[in-house]
Structure 1
Amino acid sequence: MSIGVKILIAYCLDLILGDPYRIPHPVQFIGKLISKVEDLIYRYENKKFWGGVLLLVVTGVTFGVTSLLGMIEVAEIYLLYTIFATRCLANEGNKVYSILCAEDMERARRELSYLVSRDTGSMEERDVIRSTLETISENTVDGIIAPMFYMVLGALIFPGASYGALAFGMTYKAINTLDSMVGYKNDKYMDFGMVSAKVDDLVNLIPARLTGMILYPLTALIMRYDYRSALRIYFRDRKNHASPNSAHPEAAAAGALGIQFGGTTSYFGKIYNKPTIGDRLREFHREDIRKNINLMYGASLIAMTLSMGILVI
């Protein structure tokens, strides 16, 4: 079976089943590995150096183990499937949408708190919608496009080895997990998590730009959203974020939907005035969540079609 077919099967399994909650997920093991290595080395001085060691150990172990498991075809397809997060991301967005439709703001805030690091306790409905839209747009890169990009890259670099796509895809997932666990700009992780955060920015550089400049506008064109505005806002506002990557998908999504991201946001009790992304042509509507999920699905389908074309199944 070709690697293109395996990736396609894995993608379809994710669309149908979503995350395998009742079966151990590889990211859980990566997370435990990160915690154990951190416990061993955090005590040492020169936190930036030892944070780099953490990155090397976790990515090295992930690459090595998945390379071996990738030699077993069933394990390879299963692990490829767990890398994708398309169905999971859609489910989380739809969950917030349904709760908002039920007029249960307290539950909506609580549900959103599982998805974002910002403070949700006092959010109004418009803030809940905006935060949901921003996280769907941003995580389209982390959870779908970037893993797919590295699967294809691994398959091209190691054309004779079936495990290349899996090893590259899962190593990307390890970097992403490191950033989510130690990549915080607080007293504990400012130095220790710096290398992980910078590497995560680096590996998302191309996928974020592919999503914002090509995949979202093309999806908007097909779905008859405002693709012209998606491109215009992308090129205008793609740098309006502290992250070098986050504004790229957010700008295209904001333009396609005719809404504005950014503005006043609270993180860990501190208020931040984030640069705005997009034009405030109207207020947020609950249906914007569904539309953004459609953008996410469309972008993933186009990316998969392009991937299959590159790999020639």
Structure 2
Amino acid sequence: MEQLVIVFGAFFVDCLLGDPRSKYHPVALMGSMIAFLERVFYRATDDAGKKLFMGGMLLLIVLLLCFNAAEGMEKLFRQLRLPHLGMALESIALAFMISPRSLAEAGMEIYHLLREKDIAAARQAVGMIVSRDTETLDEAEIARAAVETVAENTVDGVIAPLFFYFIGGLPLAVLYRASNTMDAMIGYRNEKYLYFGKIAARLDDVLNYIPARMTGILFVIAAFLLRKDAVGAWRMLWRDASKHPSPNGGYAEAPVAGALGIRLGGENLYFGEVHFRAHMGDPEQPVDAGAIRDTIRLMYTAAILFMLFAYAAFSIYDVYVSWL
């Protein structure tokens, strides 16, 4: 049960304070370390095999350093003479690994800008959270980009870190966040990173496999609780999730599309090139600012459901053990 107290504490801390925008934030420090090691290991003149090897070396070094640092912190917290202080410090450390409030704030900023019809500012704001080109997006495309990002990052920024914390404590949660940060920085299928970032991208896919599917089911339940279309969410989860180019992204986006009666996917512009992403959901409702707000509500509800289900599982386990 101690893990549950720490998880609830971390979620409360994040909802209360959010992520401080600082170069000393643990995830920002991970990013700086990855950028430094990339400069050390990456050479544009290397052949594909060497780029693959050097990218794997970068991945191994980053994961070992982050895992060992977190393991040391966890041992220190648990050796403190004041156990409640140790749990509080571990909650704060775990809070740095999740980002529901940051997701919500980014989404709500775009929501308010669209409501105010400030399309130029909304394009700039959505450009801070997506990798696609945003200079020519209209209101519906801006809203779609925000909805897709909040839905998909419910896995990366909330459910997956908590899932790995329950499995392996703070070290595994930090290892997951390091892997996810590496994927965000070098896991692209472009000329530079196709081989150098390939192992990082594949590891991120593997780590997110179970959390993504759990998130899809949680979104269906959240849709029911929020009086959205839970049947549609379930139907789209099964019909459209596998259409996403990522092996995991569709399991978050498809049920959200079904729950809100909207269609996600379509044409996206990356560095001036048009890429088509298969559609998910049916266009029963327009994709507008309200869809962003509703996706944020689904995200928070899914996160709370995950913690409640974890509490129920631990409670059942404790009762079972007491009967033995």
Paired with 1:300 and 1:122, the residues of 2 have a C-alpha distance of 33
The residue that corresponds to 1:207 in the other structure is 211
CA distance in 2, matches of 1:60, 1:294: 36
Query: How does the TM-score come out when normalised to structure 1?
Result: 0.93
Shift of 1:23: 7.9
State the Cα distance separating 1:20 from its structure 2 match.
Answer: 2.2
Q: CA deviation at 1:10?
A: 0.9
Q: Deviation above 6 Å: which 4+ runs of structure 1?
A: none
Task: Provide the rounded CA distance (Å) in 2 between the counterparts of 1:23 and 1:42.
Answer: 23
Q: 1:135 aligns with which of 146, 149, 153?
A: 149
Q: Percent identity?
A: 38
In structure 2, C-alpha distance between the alignment counterparts of 1:248 and 1:6, rounded to whole Å: 27
Deviation digits for residues 121-157 of structure 1 (CA, Å, limit 9, x no counterpart): 0001000011110001100000001111101111xxx
Cα RMSD (Å) of the superposition? 1.5
Corresponding residue number in structure 2 for 1:2: 2
Deviation readout 1:69-115 (Å, 9 max, x if unpaired): 11222542221111110111011100000111111100000000000
Matched, 1:231 2:234: yes
Q: 2:265 aligns with which of 262, 266, 269?
A: 262
Is residue 23–residue 29 contact of structure 2 (8 Å, CA) maintained in 1?
no
Aligned partner of 2:281 in structure 1 is 278
Q: CA deviation at 1:50?
A: 1.1
Identify the residue that residue 21 of structure 2 maps to in structure 1. Answer: 21
Q: 1:184 & 1:272 partners in 2: Cα distance?
A: 14
2:71 aligned residue: 67
- Supply the distance in 1 between the matched residues of 2:6 and 2:20 (Cα, whole angstroms): 18
Task: Report the CA distance between 1:22 and its aligned residue.
Answer: 5.2
CA distance in 2, matches of 1:297, 1:42: 39
1:217 aligns to 2:220 (yes or no) = yes
SS class of match (1:189): coil
Q: Is the 8 A contact 1:220 1:226 kept in 2?
A: yes
Query: Matched residues in 1 for 2:312 and 2:21: separation?
Result: 32
Match of 1:187 in 2: 191
CA distance in 2, matches of 1:98, 1:202: 36
In structure 2, the residue matched to 1:162 is none
Q: Secondary structure of the residue that 1:272 maps to in structure 2?
A: strand
Question: Cα 1:310–1:23, aligned 2, differ >3 Å: closer, same or farther?
Answer: farther
Q: Residues 69 and 75 of structure 1 are in contact (CA less than 8 Å); yes or no, is this contact kept in structure 2?
A: no
* In 1, Cα distance between equivalents of 2:293 and 2:36: 39
The alignment partner of 1:302 has SS state of: helix
Query: Kindly tell me: are residues 276 and 92 of structure 1, through their superposed partners in 2, closer, same or farther at Cα, counting changes over 3 Å?
Result: same
- Structure 2 letter corresponding to 1:294: R
Q: 1:79 is matched with which residue?
A: 93
Structure whose residues are more often helix by fraction: 2
Gaps of 5+ in 1: 155-164
Q: Tell whether the 8 Å contact from 2:143 to 2:289 is kept in structure 1 after alignment.
A: yes
Higher deviation after alignment, 266-275 or 302-311:
302-311
Match of 1:289 among 275, 288, 292: 292
- Distance in 1, matches of 2:110 and 2:288, equals 13
Cα deviation for residue 282 of structure 1 reads: 2.5
Counterpart residue number, 1:92: 106
Residue number in structure 2 paired with 1:11: 11
Give 1:167's aligned residue. Answer: 171
Number of residue equivalences: 302
Q: Distance in 2 between matches of 1:311 and 1:89?
A: 28
Task: Specify the alignment match of 2:30 in structure 1.
Answer: 30
Structure 2, unaligned runs of 5 or more: 78-85, 319-324
Secondary structure of the residue that 2:242 maps to in structure 1?
coil
1:259–1:280 CA contact under 8 A, matched in 2: yes
- Contact 2:164/2:173 (8 A) holds in 1: yes
Query: What does residue 42 of structure 1 align with?
Result: 42
Distance in 2, matches of 1:32 and 1:203, equals: 22
